[in-house]
Structure 1
Amino acid sequence: MARPPFLDVIVQDLGASPSVTGLCAGYENSVWRADALAARLIEEIPSFALTHRERADFADDTGVHLMGVAVRKIYTTDKYKRRGEFGELLLHLVLREVFGTQPAISKMFFKDAANDTVKGFDAVHVVAPDGGALELWLGEVKFYIGRSDAIRDVVAELHDHSDRDYLRSEFAAIVAKLDSTWEHHEQLAALLDRRTSLDQIFDAVTVPVLLTYESSVVDSRVGALAGGASPSETDEYRRVFQEEILAGLAAFSAKGLPERIRIRLILVPLHTKEALLSALHARLVAWQQATN
């Protein structure tokens, strides 16, 4: 039986350019669901960190072992607060849950050691419509506290990552990591071949840009719930949430985005980044210890 999605899509305009999606993790017992979101993200680690072959081998008798393999690929250090893996994991969840993508490779594949940091696109996914051409989704994420800082830094990266030489280098690295048993291996390898024009590749590429930030709207909702507001009274919350998302879209669009790139802006307002980070780290360490 299919499980309901965890994230609530409150704002979505796929006809805008760039398109925009605003997601909410929701509330429980008058608090923002940081711990529940952390639990949901941990569930995604196998699909995020394992190879296609490893995921194919995931079964009753191998699941615990492979979960151990997956959680140790993330990092094994207490110096986690400035690392990027949790942002990449959130992007991975959103792409799969909201947009129905599937991972082609994970940045975890590029690590030589568990605590390495890896540059490049933060997600390499595909959408494979029935009978349609393969779409390549190259994701960027900024798991930040401040929205303006996230916008500034991601726009700079979008310009850097749309450079011809950079793209050719990234495409070569992606093709080298593709699993030959994956059903879309040959199609994606052909798309990213050096003999394929970048003009043709751009027509097949979508760049989802996920930004987090600590939200005044979320903070006000937590305060209202703590003060006795009814959890079922959400109309006003959804209205101000939408206003905040659209303000974020306007600020992002005003920065001068690269041409020829199809961008999907995804905003995930947080209550506090620290609460989510701490919950994620605690659960990751618990799984690492349990499967050691």
Structure 2
Amino acid sequence: MTTAPESQPASLQSWRIDADALRAALPQALQAWTLDLVEETGSTNADLTQACRQAPWSDAGTLRLAYRQTAGRGRQGRPWQGQAGLTFSVALPLALSPSRLSGLSLGVGLALAQALGDVEAALGARVGLKWPNDLQIDGRKLAGILIEAVPAGPQRVWAVIGIGLNLVRDAQMEVALGRELAGVAEAMPGFDAQRDATRLLAAVLARLGAMRDAFVAHGFAPMAAEWSARDAYRDQPVRLLHDGQVLAEGMARGVDGEGHLLLETPAGLERITSGELSLRPAGGAA
């Protein structure tokens, strides 16, 4: 059933993160992180990517959140502004070589889904993961993730992680994209942007910090089973597209320990790397 986008509260555009409350809510391990909140920028990912190229190595992460991004972008260079949600980037220092980042985007997606459940169990229960880097509610996009790697020497790399999380459904963006979106508000009883945006962000940062430590120690493999359990398309027929062209079809069977999509085809079980592929349900355009 198609539902009309909920109206955006009048206070939505004036909500702000409470910096003091955000800092106080972070676990001790994240107290050294830099928290940078700005009204407007071109792209938080671009800002942090440039900063990481120039900054000395540190074990502490950096958050950069903008209430408006004028040159934000998603996968495959798509424009990304997301003014009806949290749009931010996190620079995570990883004591790894860039060649060991396989599955990181899936680990980030899992951490984001877990954080939503930490804030509101009913919200977390409705969130599904879409390979390789989206979160959904009922097949509608709730959040997107974009990761860029900045090498910083032997066995050192900054992962600059851009996240756009819809707080409400953005009617204008739905028209621009030609598809329905999802928002936190529809699955979080009593949602209040002024209060809950800070809670959501704190939970996300806490989960990202924990995921970073686990990923550095063991990679994505220990997370694969939980990711697959949350897979929105597991055991469903799907198509893989590149530039609008169908490259493969089959049954989605979760992911392996390196974050490869397991696709069951007539030729057998294939392991698909993400690259610039897009996954779609076989019978639609979600």
- The question of a shared fold, defined as TM-score above 0.5 by the shorter chain, is answered with no
TM-score by length of 1: 0.25
Question: Which structure is higher in helix share?
Answer: 1
More strand per residue: 1 or 2? 2
Q: TM-score, normalised by structure 2?
A: 0.25
Point out the structure with max Rg over C-alpha.
1
